[in-house]
Amino acid sequence: MRITHLLAIITALAFAMTMNVSAAEPQKKKATVTKQQAKKSDVAAKKVLRSKRLARASYEGPSMGRLTGLHGTADELDLKSSVAFVVDQDTNEVLFRKNESAVLPIASITKLMTGIVISEANLPMDEVITLTNDDIRHASFSRLKAGTSMTRRDMLHLALMSSENRAAYALGRTYPAGIDEFVRLMNAKALALGMTNTHYVEPTGLSSDNRSTAQDLAKLVAFASQNATVSEFSTSHGYQLAVGKRTVQYVNTNRLTSNPNWDIEVQKTGYITAAGRCLVMQTKVAGRKLVMVFLDSMGKYSRLGDAERVKAWLETRPANAPHA
């Protein structure tokens, strides 16, 4: 009996252990499924976030000019820009004007001042600058990642030609006295140029608090046209750059720079929702050295179309015709 009892106990224990293992397996499987579901959920959430970012980047919402009614201003050329200003750089004769004193966000037109401050600081242009997470946080819409290294010259070239935001921010961040001093110098230079309605808060133009008028920007463009570095980099057609193991091709954001019908000495484009599409240039038209400013244009290519319309108008109008 004792042996039979002992066998019964052993059998019962073995059965219990089998049941425990069987019960544990579904729990383990269930835990694995939950982990996979969590991973899928995380991937899905990232895709949604990426989609939202892309939607914000492409969103064509109302600009400040539209919100304040500037687009209701008519002009004889039917320009799509709510602000336009064309002046002869040599004589200061105003040839075309439209809402030229309106204070508006200027987007990446900001980078002209960034380029001027950097070029006038006489910093070593061959010094290598490495992008940090700070640059990433402050500057979106960029092809450059944290850890990317290039010379100050290349950073400036990309900022002026391709409106590279992280390059522009890194230029300010690595200024010897820091980003705050860099922005202070941007504002001090604006005042020195007589840009009394201009204010900068950062070096990229992504902030809508960087504001100016077409009249002020005409002064900036005229001054920038005399800066050899800013002039060369801003009108460069394209540029290849080795980024890590890759070779990245950059092109000018202003396709007029590669148009043989245009002779452009300095230029800059800009866009954020609050500013609309912006364009400034110093160019030669009908034998005259002109500064053109177009702000708050609606439509991706409308600012270029406005420049073409003004150019054609100036080339066909009599020399003594009244100005618009």
**Among this protein's residues, is 145 annotated catalytic?**
no
Asked about 289 being catalytic, the answer comes back as no
Q: How far apart are CA 305 and CA 309, in angstroms?
A: 6
Instruction: Identify any residues that bridge with 91 across adjacent strands, giving them in sequence order.
Output: none
Question: Catalytic residue at 111?
Answer: yes
Q: What are phi and psi of 31, to 5 degrees?
A: -65, -40
87: left (phi over 0), alpha (psi -120 to 50) or beta: beta
Alpha carbon distance 19, 224 (integer Å): 82
Question: Is residue 139 a contact partner of residue 213, using CB atoms and an 8 Å limit?
Answer: no
DSSP conformation letters of 54-116? HHHHH-----HHHHTTGGG---TT--SEEEEEEEETTT--EEEEESTT--EE-GGGHHHHHHH
> What token pair was written down for 31?
């835990």
Catalytic residue among 163, 212, 234, 236: 163
Q: Give 16: exposed, middle or buried? Use CB within 10 Å, 0-12, 13-18, 19+.
A: exposed
- Measuring CA to CA, how many Å separate 231 from each of 60, 257, 268, 323? 30, 12, 10, 28
Catalytic residue among 63, 108, 142, 212: 108
Cα–Cα distance for residue pair 84/45, rounded to 1 Å: 43
- Which of 98, 111, 268, 311 is the catalytic position? 111
Among all residues, which ones are annotated catalytic?
Answer: 108, 111, 163
